[in-house]
Amino acid sequence: MIHAGISEAPVDRPLDALVVGAGVSGLYQLHRLRQLGLDAKGVEAASDIGGTWYWNCYPGARVDSDAPIYQYSVEGLWEGWQFSKRFLSGEEILKYLHYADETFGVSRHIRFNTRVLGARFNDTGNLWEVTTDNSPTITTRLLVMCIGFASKPHQPYFKGLETFRGEWYHTARWPKSGVELEGKRVGVIGTGASGVQVIQEAGKVAKELVVFQRTPNLTFPMRQSTQAEASRSIYPDIFRQRTTTFSGFHMDSIPKPSIEGAAARQAVFDELWGKGGLEFWLGSYDDTLINDTANDYAYAYWRDKVRQRIHKEELLEKLAPTVKMHPFGTKRPALEQHFYEVLNQENVTLVDLNDNPIDEITFTGARTKDGTEYALDLLVMATGFDSATGGYNDIEIKGTNGARFCDKWASGVKSYLGMLAHGFPNMFIEYGPHSPTAFANGPTGIELQVDWIADCIEYMMKNSLVRIEANEKAEQDWTRRVHEVGAKGLWNQAKSWYRGANVPGKVVEDMFWAGGFPSYAKACKEVADNGYEGIIFV
């Protein structure tokens, strides 16, 4: 078997490939591998497909990529589906993924309700032995990790949480059966994208709403709209375009410094603000995230716009401070629809955790340092994720000589192109660290990696290769490049999940490729064109 190439008929029937995760990347990866004729199967911890959209089913969950670009560009797929809105709800995305699965036909090859607990590489047979909580050990030649960057929720410690008599949920572990918000006293901890979305929904129906905020979100107006049927004719152009822009979107930054004159800048800012969505961030001057002065211009415009909508005097400094607390755009902005109007409501209280942290969760609610008791029926933890590496650390992955993957990344992520890791042969990583992931539209980055991995495996099949592993030097070089590119921006001035700074004890570093989607795509293409340079095959 050692000499059998990938896809040659196995003697003792190990799989050719096991795809872990059935989200946007896992579904498409499984499709591509099965198209190659491989005996590829999937495992998924959830009871259904959807990945992040399966788990994050809290009220108001919505994507912030515009609908035309938040889909697979696969021919024969996009032509048959019409989205209803510019920014899709989680429910609509799940419907779309089920539609895609009807075409791909992969869910019948996925074992659901099955969480991968460990994976051990058998050096002699070049096989992965994968253990789960709900199946016998699965043996596979290739292991493709499609667990995304947000599979592990971050649940901070709050003293007394176990004593709380009401209900509490993390947004990423929201009950599929739903949770009643109407008429309840609801507390929300966290004002990231998830928190903003829940707050907007709770504000409509809750009896009282208490928002526990540590850092204000520098939000943008969503400007939701319906999709016109005719717009589908331009999808091919949009799909082409999204591979050419810095963030994998349909728009790109303006290749000019923002110091072009106050009047011109004001006109540009007004236009971007009017467009809504992420335009003011991703479609603005290209020095905004690398130059302090440029960044100040954007922040000042944002602050003044947002302040016009805040009617409670005491909230002005808390929601839109005079002086920015971190560089504008270096923490992920949320798209909002009526966020400030909710915070203006009389039944809504904003607690600034910087002045007044939560001392304890009690039987009946939360008590802050100043002694105030907030009575709550429902507490929502919108506290984010142990991003990029958390999901990997939860799986006992052992590579050559029994080396543990969590030890390899304990002092910082090391990878080649964010897809391969030295010492862990025949394992591919997808939509994780060291690639554009968090800095790019999801489907754009996912398609690039899925296709690259499928092409690489096809190359192995054609050449009867059984083992692939990143060369250590190539891995070191790529890791250095990720850090060099990250250091060019203002990212390191913010405590964000982009850099692992949100989880106590985690290594703080540039985890994602901040050099733009096209440069990443170019690097991947060059590696393949040069005979998969930096990779050792057997």
Q: Contact between 191 and ligand N01 (CB under 6 A)?
A: yes
- Residue 383 or 426: which CB sits closer to ligand N01? 383
Helices 292-307 and 262-275: crossing angle in degrees, nearest 10, is: 60
Stretch that binds ligand N01, among 9-17, 113-121, 332-340, 403-411 (CB under 6 A): 332-340
Closest CA to 125 of 11, 19, 36: 11
- Residue 382 or 535: which CB sits closer to ligand N01? 382
Contact indicator for 517, 436 with CB cutoff of 8 Å: yes
Smallest gap, in angstroms, from Cβ of residue 345 to ligand N01?
20
Q: Contact between 193 and ligand N01 (CB under 6 A)?
A: yes
Contact indicator for 110, 49 with CB cutoff of 8 Å: yes
Q: Quick one: which of 353, 406, 465, 528 contacts ligand N01 (CB under 6 A)?
A: 353
Q: Quick one: which of 55, 96, 491, 497 contacts ligand N01 (CB under 6 A)?
A: 497
Smallest gap, in angstroms, from Cβ of residue 325 to ligand N01?
9
- Residue 225 or 266: which CB sits closer to ligand N01? 225
Nearest-angstrom CA–CA distance, 522 and 182: 50
Q: Considering CB under 6 A, how many residues would be counted as binding ligand N01? A: 26
In angstroms, the Cα distances linking 531 to 518, 524, 534, 535 are 20, 11, 9, 9
- Residue 156 or 166: which CB sits closer to ligand N01? 156
Smallest gap, in angstroms, from Cβ of residue 22 to ligand N01?
19
Smallest gap, in angstroms, from Cβ of residue 213 to ligand N01?
7
Is the CA virtual torsion 242, 244, 247, 248 positive or negative? positive
Smallest gap, in angstroms, from Cβ of residue 243 to ligand N01?
20
- For 121, the token pair is 């590489």
Query: How many other C-beta atoms are found inside a 10 Å radius of the C-beta of residue 346?
Result: 7
Smallest gap, in angstroms, from Cβ of residue 4 to ligand N01?
41
Long-range contacts of 236-244 (CB under 8 A, 24+ apart): 238/68, 238/69, 239/69, 239/73, 239/78, 242/69, 242/73, 242/441, 242/444, 243/444, 243/448, 243/517, 243/518, 243/521, 244/518
Q: What is the distance, to the nearest Å, from the Cα of residue 371 to the centroid of all Cα atoms in its chain?
A: 37
Is the CA virtual torsion 402, 405, 408, 411 positive or negative? negative
Using CB under 6 A as the binding rule, the residues of this chain from 383 to 402 that contact ligand N01 are 383-385
DSSP 103-156: HH--GGGEE-S--EEEEEEETTTTEEEEEESSSSPEEEEEEEE---S--SB---
Burial class (CB in 10 A: 0-12, 13-18, 19+), 529: exposed
Q: Contact between 214 and ligand N01 (CB under 6 A)?
A: yes
Q: Contact between 275 and ligand N01 (CB under 6 A)?
A: no
Smallest gap, in angstroms, from Cβ of residue 52 to ligand N01?
8
Residue nearest to ligand N01 (CB): 192
Q: Quick one: which of 14, 59, 187, 190 contacts ligand N01 (CB under 6 A)?
A: 190
Q: Contact between 219 and ligand N01 (CB under 6 A)?
A: no
- For 225, the token pair is 């709209």
In the chain, what is the greatest distance between 2 CA atoms, to the nearest angstrom?
Answer: 73
- Residue 416 or 491: which CB sits closer to ligand N01? 491
Q: Quick one: which of 89, 103, 135, 215 contacts ligand N01 (CB under 6 A)?
A: 215
Q: Contact between 502 and ligand N01 (CB under 6 A)?
A: yes
Q: Contact between 332 and ligand N01 (CB under 6 A)?
A: yes
Q: Contact between 192 and ligand N01 (CB under 6 A)?
A: yes
Q: Contact between 156 and ligand N01 (CB under 6 A)?
A: yes
Phi and psi at 152, nearest 5°, equal -115, 110
Q: Contact between 155 and ligand N01 (CB under 6 A)?
A: no
Contact indicator for 416, 534 with CB cutoff of 8 Å: yes
Residue 261 backbone class (left: φ over 0; alpha: ψ -120 to 50; beta: rest): left
Q: Quick one: which of 67, 211, 361, 382 contacts ligand N01 (CB under 6 A)?
A: 382
Is the CA virtual torsion 177, 181, 187, 189 positive or negative? positive
- Residue 171 or 253: which CB sits closer to ligand N01? 171
Q: What is the distance, to the nearest Å, from the Cα of residue 22 to the centroid of all Cα atoms in its chain?
A: 15
- 332 secondary structure, DSSP code: P
Q: Contact between 350 and ligand N01 (CB under 6 A)?
A: no
Nearest-angstrom CA–CA distance, 37 and 261: 58
Stretch that binds ligand N01, among 237-245, 312-320, 328-336, 400-408 (CB under 6 A): 328-336
Smallest gap, in angstroms, from Cβ of residue 47 to ligand N01?
21
Smallest gap, in angstroms, from Cβ of residue 5 to ligand N01?
39
- 362 secondary structure, DSSP code: -
Smallest gap, in angstroms, from Cβ of residue 105 to ligand N01?
28
Stretch that binds ligand N01, among 68-76, 102-110, 184-192, 248-256 (CB under 6 A): 184-192
Q: Quick one: which of 57, 150, 198, 376 contacts ligand N01 (CB under 6 A)?
A: 150
Q: Assign 538 to helix, strand or coil.
A: coil
Q: Contact between 194 and ligand N01 (CB under 6 A)?
A: yes
Using CB under 6 A as the binding rule, the residues of this chain from 56 to 85 that contact ligand N01 are 62-64
Smallest gap, in angstroms, from Cβ of residue 144 to ligand N01?
23
Contact residues toward ligand N01 (CB under 6 A) are: 62-64, 150, 156, 171, 189-195, 197, 214-215, 332, 334-335, 353, 382-385, 497, 502
